[in-house]
Chain A
Amino acid sequence: MRAISTEPLLMDASDWLLEIPEDLRQQVWNRSRDQGSPAGCWRSYVNGLAATLLQDLIRLDYGQPAVAWLGQSQQREIFEVVTGSAIALGAHRLIVIPTEALDDDCSVPQEWVDIPSWKGDYYAFVQLSPCESYVRILGYATHRQLKTQGEYDAFDRGYNLSINQLISWDSFEPTYANYSADQTQVAVEPLPELSPAQAESLLQRLGNPAQVMPRLEVPFAQWGALIALPQWRQQLWCDRCGLQPTPSRQAVAAVTKLSSWLQGEIHAAWQGVELLLGPTQFARSNRSPGPDSPDFSRGHSPALEPRSIDGLEVRAVTDSSVGEKISRAKRLELAPEVEVALSVTMVPLESGDHQVMLYLDPLPDFPRLPDDIELHLLSETGEILGQAKAASSETIRMQFRAAAGERFDVSVLCGEASVRESFEI
């Protein structure tokens, strides 16, 4: 069989094509296995390709921040029942809708349009080629366009546009940031709040994998209300895969919400720094960061130059801090005899962003950090945004700046062992 990538394609001069490198295709395929039902795995694959390529285009070619809305484990719960994913572009939100159809179909599942917490500013339509060797960006539309010009189809609950109604992808980079939400979006009906009993009864019915398309089985308002909430989404996924939500899986999915710390909601695993490390480190973490003291008395080798990487800005603080900062530390067990302390300090800034500082310290029982230990800062899709090693094995430090609601992961690696923590501002 001929590879279609070498097959000449009759395209318009204005068509956008992105190649799918063979290794990416295989990587996304492997990652998509065992993510749920066969249809869920397939959606995970198709969406994975589309979202990765678009995210790379925006990040690498346009030099703009682009961060996946959800991590892999939460995303697969969505793919189990519906296609589409969301990318945060600073303050804007882009929904990526892949299509396999050869016929330039532009249909958005209702979930991405009418669930208030899911809807986006922009919707990009990405067509996968028959042999999965390239994608074609058909164009994009705003939420407002979908709601005002789109044709709603009750049969499969989707908003349809024709390809002629889409805006050329050419315009996206020059203009996307210029529009505010009230220009790109229209208000949608709030969804009803489900009682736990209602949710339970829906889950009982829709959690049965024999229901091939659960999204179409109950009225949209109920369905939307159910899957808008992460815990029910997770439950639905577990039920359909025949799994019980185990504590360990929950632990994987658990995200530490740093802004909740400011309200005093702190999980017991996160202790006071002094409690875990003793007074010396506490004194360090208690020092106020700011333009006058961008550096810290202790700690070495921040491998990160002040620069902007991805959605998270890794650089020195330029605006002044406002409000209380907060620090907490957690004991991480890398191996039976290898334990370290990860401390997180968060400072709310005037601009509404937050300065985040990460420290990796030896616990009081250990004289120093293991030699080969590394601290990685990752996007929630697992992409490395920054990494640091300890030169003197005393402390690793990393600081960056993040906007409200932004997600990131921190991974501590030591030889074969690694521990990963997920955070949200």
Chain B
Amino acid sequence: MRPRKALVEQFSTFAQVADDQFQGWRADPRLKLSMVKQLELAASSSLDGLAAEGGVETEQRWALYWYELWQSQPSSVAKAHLFAYLQEPCYWAAREVAQKYVSLHPGQSSGYCTGDYFQMAMAALPDALGQFRPDRSSQVKSFIQIFISSRLKALLRQSKLADFCTPWALLRKTSKRRMGQVLTALGLSLDQQQPYLALLLGFQELYLPVHAGGSARLPKPEGELWQSLAGFYNQRRSSWCSPGAGALDAAQVEDRLIKMAQWVRNYLYPSIDSINRGIAGEEGDVGEIQDRITSANCLFSDGNNPDLLTSLMEIDDHGERQQQLAEMTQVLAQAYGQLDGESQRVLALLYGDRLSQMEVSRRTNLSQATVSRRAGRARGNLQKAMLAWSEQPVNRISDPDKLKSVTNMLEDWLELYLSQSTHD
């Protein structure tokens, strides 16, 4: 993948990925024009940080700028700029997942190529950005890459696990929430979904595995089950469904459940055509935004968050921020050095070589579960060091919810630190 250097290019071109190859950057003329104008405006109003071609820092500030604008004006051109900017993390996540799949399942095809994964990654971008918190995460690109790679893995894992399941098992292993997503994707209104959701919950309560370890291979239920399920449904119908939902007999119930299982399976193997829509270049009013550039300064103003790790992300002073980061890195490097050899090895393979847990398990002769546990505890120890370094008692991070940012930062750091040290 050829790196994009100029700011204009970074915010106005899209990656072309066909099959397993990166083909090149396609410029979007409208976005290009918009970006050029924004840069001119920034230069004339001499906004600190946005004007000059100042490398990574400037690039990130522009990303944040579009991000904030997209938050306040979701339908503006900001989204397209942001999507253009985030092509690399989508591409790298797609490539990583494609390669890991091949390495884990040699000789088996997932049915998708890198290009397909890339489309899925782009489709996941709005969700990923929805989770991004500029004040909590470090770099938007690494956040997006981790999020999307995790999303793609979850998709593949779920469809792989579903392969083990009979239709009846799959229905037991589908949450009400997921069933709702499946039905929504099929175009059913909430009212229309209720009877199906009622049947799903009833089925899960009534059709149970009869021996340990057998829940994936559940056989087709006997006729009696459909009878009881119909009874359950007809009894619950009045409280769960809108008045229009009629009574069902056993055969209708069975019929519906069979369809539902098929729908769930189809949902787990999305066709690329269904994903490939509305990804970039949505219409937005370019002119309107130009007035807003003056508000860019407020992006970088101080929030009043007392948590050090949070305020770390908000430190305006470049030097101070760098120093804090350097200190933290030192503390983490020291804590890493104190981990036992096996934990270090596991972390180095996971984050430095970016191997999957399963690959690490093969290399170390530990089970995958042991690898995950070892790594988890090691990360826990690094977190302890990080929290201790912040010189505030841990409980000063007033909300446990904020620990998520600590976890994110730590994973970023591990990747950076260990990929450097393994490649030195």
A residues apposed to B, CB below 8 Å: 1, 4, 7-19, 25-26, 28-29, 38-39, 41-42, 45, 57, 61, 99-105, 107, 128-134, 141-142, 144-145, 149, 153, 155-156, 160, 164, 167-175, 178-180, 183-184, 212-213, 216
Contact of B240 with A by CB under 8 A: yes
Contact with A along B315-354 (1 / 0, CB 8 A): 0000000000000000000000000000000000011001
Pairwise interchain contact A15-B372, C-beta atoms closer than 8 A:
yes
**What are 18 A-B pairs with beta-carbon distances under 8 A?**
A8-B104, A19-B370, A38-B208, A42-B209, A57-B373, A61-B377, A105-B177, A105-B178, A131-B215, A155-B194, A168-B379, A171-B400, A173-B377, A178-B393, A178-B394, A179-B395, A212-B202, A212-B206
Closest to B387 in A: A174
Is A130 touching B175 in the complex (CB atoms < 8 A)?
Answer: no
Residues of B within 8 A of A133 (CB): 213
**Cα–Cα distance between A153 and B194 once the two chains are bound (Å):** 13
Knowing A10-B157, A170-B379, A175-B387, the reply to whether A17 touches B212 (Cβ < 8 A) is no
Between B169, B177, B357, the greatest number of chain A beta carbons within 10 A of the residue's beta carbon is seen for B177
State whether A170 and B380 are in contact (beta carbons under 8 Å apart), knowing that A14-B411, A18-B373 are contacts in the complex: yes
Interface string of B148-166 (1 = CB under 8 A from A): 0110011011101110110
In the complex, the answer to whether B356 meets A11 with C-beta atoms within 8 Å is: yes
Q: How far is the CB of A35 from chain B (nearest CB, A)?
A: 13
B375 contacts which chain A residues (CB < 8 A)? 13-14
**Cα-based distance from A15 to B357 in the complex (angstroms):** 9
Contact A132/B100 with A13-B350, A103-B158 known, Cβ cut-off 8 Å: no
Give the top 5 A-B pairs by smallest Cβ distance, nearest first.
Answer: A105-B175, A29-B212, A101-B175, A130-B216, A103-B178
* CB <8 Å contact, B367 and A213: no
CB proximity of B402 to chain A, nearest CB, Å: 9
Tell me whether B70 is interfacial, beta carbon within 8 Å.
Answer: no
B153 near A12 with CB under 8 A, answer yes
Closest partner residue, chain A, to B371 (CB atom) = A17
- Residue with the greatest number of chain B CB neighbours at <10 A, chosen from A11, A18, A160: A11
Contact present for A26 and B212 (CB under 8 Å)? yes
Given contacts A131-B164, A168-B404, A178-B394, contact A17 B372 (CB under 8 A): yes
Q: Are the C-beta atoms of B217 and A1 separated by less than 8 Å? A: yes
Q: Per a CB cutoff under 8 Å, which of B197, B367, B400 touches A175?
A: B400
> Per a CB cutoff under 8 Å, which of B149, B164, B177 touches A130?
B164
Q: A17-B368, A175-B400 are in contact. Are A100 and B411 (CB under 8 A)?
A: no
Chain A residue with Cβ nearest B151:
A164
Q: A9-B157, A216-B239 are known contacts; what are 13 more A-B pairs with Cβ within 8 Å?
A: A8-B356, A9-B104, A13-B354, A13-B356, A38-B208, A103-B178, A105-B175, A107-B176, A129-B161, A131-B215, A141-B401, A149-B401, A175-B394
Residues of chain B contacted by A216 (CB below 8 angstroms): 236, 239
| B373 lies within 8 A of A11 (CB) | no
A170 touches B383 (CB 8 A): yes
The answer to whether A17 and B379 touch across the interface, beta carbons within 8 angstroms, is no
Taken together as a complex, chains A and B put the C-alpha atoms of A16 and B368 apart, in Å, by 10
Chain B residues lying within 8 Å of A38, measured Cβ to Cβ, are 208
Contact A17 B357 (CB under 8 A): yes
Contact B407 A101 (CB under 8 A): no
A29 to B214, CA, bound (A): 11
Residues A19 and B369 in contact, CB atoms below 8 Å apart? yes
Among A9, A13, A18, A142, contact of B411 (Cβ-Cβ < 8 Å): A13
Alpha-carbon distance A183/B399, docked complex (angstroms): 7
A171 near B406: Cβ-Cβ < 8 Å? yes
A101 touches B174 (CB 8 A): yes
A78 smallest CB distance to B (angstroms): 16
A175 to B394, CA, bound (A): 7
Q: Are A102 and B174 in contact (CB under 8 A)?
A: yes
CA distance A380 to B78 in the complex (A): 58
Chain B's nearest CB lies how many Å from the CB of A10? 5
Specify which chain B residues have a CB less than 8 angstroms from the CB of A149 in the assembled complex: 401
Given A145-B401, A156-B201, A179-B395: A10 and B176 interface contact (C-beta under 8 Å): no
Shortest Cβ distance from A5 into chain B, in angstroms?
A: 8
A168 to B370, CA, bound (A): 17
Contacts of A167 in B (CB 8 A): 400-401, 403-404, 407
Which residues of chain A are within 8 angstroms of B208 by Cβ–Cβ distance?
38-39, 41-42
Specify the chain A residue showing the minimal Cβ separation from B347: A13
- Contact flags B167-180 to A (C-beta < 8 A → 1, else 0): 00110111111100
Find out whether the CB atom of A29 lies under 8 angstroms from the CB atom of B211. Answer: yes
Q: Write the nearest CB–CB distance from A19 to chain B, whole angstroms.
A: 4
**Minimum C-beta distance from A56 to chain B (A):** 11
| Cα–Cα distance between A179 and B403 once the two chains are bound (Å) | 12
Tell me the complex Cα distance, A16–B378, Å. 12
A152 to B296, CA, bound (A): 37
**Chain B residues whose C-beta falls within 8 Å of the C-beta of A183 in the assembled complex:** 395, 398-400
Q: Given A10-B101, A100-B215, A145-B401, are A134 and B369 neighbors across the interface (CB < 8 Å)? A: yes
Query: How many angstroms from the CA of A172 to the CA of B373 in the assembled complex?
Result: 13
The reply to whether B131 and A164 contact each other, CB–CB distance below 8 Å, is yes
Chain B residues with CB under 8 Å of A11's CB are 153, 157, 356-358, 368, 372
Question: CA separation between A216 and B178, bound complex, in Å?
Answer: 21
0/1 interface trace, chain B 196-227, chain A, CB 8 Å (1 if under)? 01000110011011011101110000000000
Whether A174 and B209, one on each chain, are in contact in the complex, defined by CB atoms closer than 8 angstroms, is: no
Contact between A168 and B407 (Cβ–Cβ < 8 Å)?
A: yes
Chain B residues near A28 (CB, 8 Å)?
212
Output the least CB separation between A323 and chain B (Å): 32
B173 touches A130 (CB 8 A): yes
Asked if B22 is an interface residue, CB under 8 A from chain A, the answer is: no
A39 to chain B, nearest CB (A): 5
Q: Which of A41, A173, A178 contacts B395 (CB 8 A)?
A: A178
Interchain nearest-CB distance for B230 vs A (Å): 12
Bound-state Cα–Cα, A134 to B161, Å: 13
Q: Give which listed residue, B205, B395, B403, contacts A39 with CB less than 8 A.
A: B205
What CA separation (Å) do A57 and B377 show in the bound complex?
Answer: 11
Q: Is B384 engaged at the interface, CB distance under 8 Å to the other chain?
A: yes
Task: Known contacts A10-B104, A19-B369; decide if A103 and B383 are in contact (CB<8 Å).
Answer: no
Q: Which residues of A contact B178 (CB under 8 A)?
A: 101, 103, 105
Tell whether B292 is near chain A: CB-to-CB under 8 Å.
Answer: no
- Asked if B246 is an interface residue, CB under 8 A from chain A, the answer is no
Q: Which of B153, B367, B395 contacts A10 (CB 8 A)?
A: B153
Chain B 286-304 residues near chain A, CB threshold 8 A: none
Chain B neighbourhood of A12, CB < 8 A: 149-150, 153
